[in-house]
Homo-oligomer: A and B are copies of this chain.
């Protein structure tokens, strides 16, 4: 049962932190303001681009507080929640709901391999802890356990599990999901996908780091898809694609942080052991960004 109406471009926000661990509040507020001004449809702090695994709980909480406060209700904020323990992930979700987020992006975190019923328990446990809509999310590139179709089908029965964000890049799997639970759960794309194709499959938008850097272009692509201008959309998608490939080449968070620095947002370096781009890599990235504008 889908009651919320999220859709469009939700940038995965970076988490700018100083070397002493404090959050760079000013630039985070500026980035939120900038993206809202550009017309994004929502904001997603604490996704992979937000380096969530590298943050402590207090840092995560601070990031969400700033984003919610800066957004001032103009667009929905869907905050990422992740912990190996269900109880702790549920607690984080509850706290974020109290802070005022409009949705929770529930990210699976695993250590010992999980069976399907344990994956179910995790997402169900997070969803039941809150009243707001929940987005299911796994990233099979970085995690041993993935969401099987059977688990997705069962989770879709939980009322506030309304969205599924897939990072697999596997369009066939998405078509299967649409065919089976398309009436109960809506799709968000990732940037590893060709988002246009996910939109064709009935997707409602995408959550992705690159939208921090190219919000207008992302929105234009979204609008072409929304208006069912598939061929024009594909041509535009092709043009934007090199940006996506850069993120894969340089690493998601390091690349978006470097690109934001280039654009005048002093978000700082990624959190060690993640490494900032080299000077040469930054020059390459600058060239790619220029080619899009």
Contact = CB atoms under 8 A, between A and B. Distances in A.
A273 B179 CA distance: 29
Contacts of A234: 200-201
A157 interface: no
Contacts of A159: none
Interface string A230-245: 1100100110011011
Contacts of A84: 53-54
Given A142-B111, A172-B193, A125 B272 contact: yes
Contacts of A179: 238, 241-242
Contact of A172 (B21, B169, B172): B169
Nearest to A230: B230
A1 interface: no
Contacts of A217: none
A197 B171 CA distance: 9
How many of these chains are in the complex? Answer: 4
A178 interface: yes
Contacts of A111: 48, 53-54, 142
Interface stretch (A4-12, A28-36, A69-77, A114-122): A114-122
A288 interface: no
Contacts of A228: 231
B171 A87 contact: no
Contacts of A200: 197, 230, 234
A119 B87 contact: no
Interface string A14-26: 0000010100000
A181 interface: no
Given A125-B272, A179-B241, A251 B170 contact: no
A86 interface: yes
Contacts of A194: 171-172, 175, 197
A83 to B, nearest CB: 8
A88 interface: yes
A107 B246 CA distance: 30
Interface of A: 19, 21, 48, 53-57, 83-88, 109, 111-114, 118-119, 121-122, 125, 142, 144, 169-173, 175-176, 178-179, 192-194, 197, 200-201, 228, 230-231, 234, 237-238, 241-242, 244-245, 251-253, 271-275
